[in-house]
Amino acid sequence: MGKLWKKDEVDPSKKKKTKNEVYASGQYIPISADKARRIINQIGYRYYETGVLLLKFMPYRACYPILKLLYSAASNAVHNMGWNKSDLVISKVEVNKGTTIKKSKPRARGRSSLIKRSTCHITIVLKDISYYTKDQEKSNLIQNGR
């Protein structure tokens, strides 16, 4: 059984993370989650600029909404944090299944058939790579005694 936390203490796993990541999320995007995952797996854990190039030249319809989300996450990083776009890395990408939109299509003899349109929720998280390289340089300077 896990440790019981007192009223004033906070579980360390539930603490808010440091402000070294920026995200953008899109909900109810009319693409199936499997088709979005096919594209997301190609751009995950790459530099921002590489991800944009990959999305621009992929021949899939699902690339456009993902590209818009990636642009949105980068503009959040530049506007809110003041980071440089060339230092951004796609650190985490999530695709979750959304609700299914149901419509009816009229058929012969007064009947109707159901049309199901699946949606998904996509979250893109960006990190600033220069944040980590500066810390590594500082630790190297400390170890070398300079």
Place of tokens 């999320």: 25
Backbone φ, ψ for residue 84 (5° rounding): -95, 135
Q: Give yes or no for residue 140 having a pLDDT over 90.
A: no
Once rounded to an integer, what is the mean pLDDT over residues 110-132?
Answer: 92
Using alpha carbons, select from 54, 77, 93 the residue that is nearest to residue 131.
Answer: 77
CB 94 within 8 A of CB 122: yes
Q: Tens digit of pLDDT for each residue in 63-104? A: 999 999 999 999 999 999 899 999 899 999 999 999 999 999
Q: What is the pLDDT of residue 57?
A: 95
Report the greatest alpha carbon distance in the chain. 86
End-to-end CA distance of the chain: 48
**Where do the domains of the chain lie, and which CATH numbers do they carry?**
22-144 (3.90.470.10)
Q: Give this prediction's pTM.
A: 0.76
Q: What is the pLDDT of residue 19?
A: 72
Once rounded to an integer, what is the mean pLDDT over residues 30-39?
Answer: 95
Q: Give yes or no for residue 22 having a pLDDT over 60.
A: yes
Nearest 10 degrees: Cα torsion 65, 71, 72, 77: 150
Q: Kindly state the percentage of the chain with pLDDT values over 70.
A: 78
CB 103 within 8 A of CB 64: no
Q: What is the pLDDT of residue 90?
A: 93
